[in-house]
Structure 1
Amino acid sequence: MAQHNQLGKTGEERAAEYLISKGYIIRDINWRSGKMELDIVAYRDKTLVVVEVKTRKNNEFLRPEEAVTLRKIKNIIQATDAYIRMFDIPFDIRFDIITLVGENEDFQIEHIEDAFLPPLNCR
């Protein structure tokens, strides 16, 4: 596995551990439907929380949350719609971003709740 892929996988694992420590129930990690993917789908307080995880070694060029572009948001919204339909989810939905910056599993973690709302036009 390429080093950047391993860093991302490790970041997702640490993000899931972080969420669990904060009382979230993890429903899925790396859920896929076709080409669509959701990094983490969790549940807490009658809310389905879709979490985009961004892991970087440092902030030199771009803060991790800045990599969540409008195109990425639209893809997350479409994947979330598929998830909701597949599992008939009756909960409120929230979109969060968790950023992890660091190396060798020594990460600074930031949890951005309600990081974005679905755009009015997702097509």
Structure 2
Amino acid sequence: MAQHNELGKTGEAIAADYLEEKGFDILERNWQYNHKELDLIGMHDDYLVVIEVKTRTSDGWENPKEAITNSKIRFIVEATEAYINETGIDNEVRFDVVTLIPNGEEWDIEHIEEAFHPGL
């Protein structure tokens, strides 16, 4: 596996653990749709929460949250609709972003609730 893929998988695992500690119930990891995936899907406070995880080695080039483009948002919303249709979950939906940057042996983690809204 390429080093950037390993970093991404590590970041997703750390993000899932972090969210579970905050009371999230993680329903899915790496849910596949049209050859792409939703990183994490969970439930929290009666919301279905779709979480995009962005992991970088540093914020020197691009802050991880800046990597979520309008086309990425459109894909996330489309895939979320497919997930809802497949599962029949009828909760209100929220889109969060978790960014991770390693800082020595620790990780700098930022959890952005309601990071974006469909159609914006």
Q: Distance in 2 between matches of 1:32 and 1:38?
A: 7
Shift of 1:36: 3.4
Aligned in 2, Cα 1:104/1:34: closer, same or farther, shift over 3 Å?
Answer: farther
SS at match of 1:73: helix
Q: Is the 8 A contact 1:11 1:100 kept in 2?
A: yes
SS at match of 2:78: helix
SS at match of 1:58: coil
Moved over 4 A (4+): none
What are the superposed Cα offsets for residues 32-71 of structure 1, whole Å, 9 maximum, x if unpaired? 1232311000001110000000000100011000000000
Gaps of 5+ in 1: none
1:47 aligns with 2:35: no
TM-score by length of 1: 0.93
TM-score by length of 2: 0.95
Gaps of 5+ in 2: none
Partner of 1:11: 11
Q: Distance in 2 between matches of 1:61 and 1:25?
A: 33
